[in-house]
């Protein structure tokens, strides 16, 4: 599902974030990418999420080598294949949960009624059907993250990338979020969790440790 082959990433100014990283994640895996702040985790997320391109080496997602795709094709790949869950939720303020989730289908060509119908199903999947009309300010942190997960999976992507998904949550809410990610994986979705929390990573079946821009184990 995801292959990085001798990947390097250097930013303007000569800052090297990744060096010669090779990694394969099979379809249906549940993987934790763990490392301290500044280790290169976020850069790796951007690359495997088709949000950025490597300086050297190649990144292949679901059979597509990213450097060979146009901007439009990259956007289509993200919209069709990848769902994103971020630490800060990124929900639109003042917008009901159902419409925040429906926004995950904006580029599918579906009409508003169908987008909302599918969004309702996704909210039910994460146990928040009763919160469909609530705005973000009416939701707890854990509920906001569950809405974000519903948005990530409403289009039934092959891959879900979760960037520090429990970083802003109390331990109880964090456990609920991790349980949902495991349930998604059990249903066949490839799930990659980017985290600095070694306890969370230790509970995942596969772990990749990154430090100083390189995979250490």
Terminal-to-terminal C-alpha distance of the chain: 20
Convert the pLDDT of each residue in 172-207 to its tens digit. 888 888 999 999 999 999 999 999 888 888 899 999
Question: Which element (helix H / strand E) includes 138?
Answer: none
Q: For the chain, which residues make up each domain, given as ranges?
A: 2-215
| Strands of 159-163's sheet in order across | 82-86, 159-163, 190-195, 30-34, 206-211, 214-215
Per-residue model confidence as pLDDT tens for the chain (217 residues)? 999 999 999 999 889 999 999 999 999 999 999 998 889 998 999 999 999 999 999 999 999 999 999 999 998 899 889 999 988 889 999 999 999 999 989 878 889 999 999 999 999 989 999 999 999 999 999 999 999 999 999 999 999 999 989 888 888 888 888 999 999 999 999 999 999 888 888 899 999 999 999 999 8
Distance set, CA 15 to CA 12, 38, 165 (Å): 7, 11, 27
Q: Work out the number of other CB atoms within 10 angstroms of the CB of residue 168.
A: 16
Q: What pLDDT was estimated at residue 87? A: 83
Q: What pLDDT was estimated at residue 142? A: 92
Q: What pLDDT was estimated at residue 170? A: 87
Distance CA 211, CA 44 (A): 12
Q: What pLDDT was estimated at residue 40? A: 92
Q: What pLDDT was estimated at residue 45? A: 92
- Looking at the domain covering 2-215, what would its CATH class be? alpha beta
Q: What pLDDT was estimated at residue 169? A: 86
Q: Work out the number of other CB atoms within 10 angstroms of the CB of residue 203.
A: 15
| Strands of 56-61's sheet in order across | 15-25, 2-11, 56-61, 64-65
Distance CA 25, CA 34 (A): 15
Q: What pLDDT was estimated at residue 108? A: 81
Convert the pLDDT of each residue in 156-165 to its tens digit. 999 999 998 9
Q: What pLDDT was estimated at residue 53? A: 95
Overall pTM > 0.85: yes
Q: What pLDDT was estimated at residue 17? A: 95
49: phi then psi, degrees, rounded to nearest 5: -95, 5
């Amino acid at each position: 599902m995801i292959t990085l082959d001798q990947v390097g990433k250097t930013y303007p100014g000569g800052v090297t974030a990744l060096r010669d990283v090779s990694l394969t994640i099979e379809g249906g895996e549940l993987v934790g990418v763990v490392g301290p702040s500044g280790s290169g985790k976020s850069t790796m997320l951007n690359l495997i999420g088709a949000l950025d391109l490597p300086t050297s080496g190649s990144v292949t997602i679901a059979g597509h080598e990213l450097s060979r795709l146009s901007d439009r094709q990259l956007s289509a790949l993200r919209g069709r294949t990848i769902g994103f869950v971020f630490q800060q939720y990124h929900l639109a303020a003042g917008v009901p949960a159902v419409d925040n989730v429906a926004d995950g289908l904006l580029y599918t060509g579906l009409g508003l009624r169908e987008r909302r119908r599918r969004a309702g199903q996704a909210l039910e999947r994460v146990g928040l059907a009763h919160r469909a009309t609530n705005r973000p300010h009416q939701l707890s942190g854990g509920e906001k993250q569950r809405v974000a997960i519903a948005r990530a999976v409403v289009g039934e992507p092959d891959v879900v990338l979760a960037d520090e998904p429990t970083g802003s949550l109390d331990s109880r809410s964090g456990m609920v979020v991790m349980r949902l990610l495991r349930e998604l994986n059990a249903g066949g979705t490839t799930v990659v969790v980017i985290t600095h929390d070694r306890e969370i990573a230790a509970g995942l079946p596969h772990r990749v440790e990154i430090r100083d821009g390189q995979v250490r184990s």
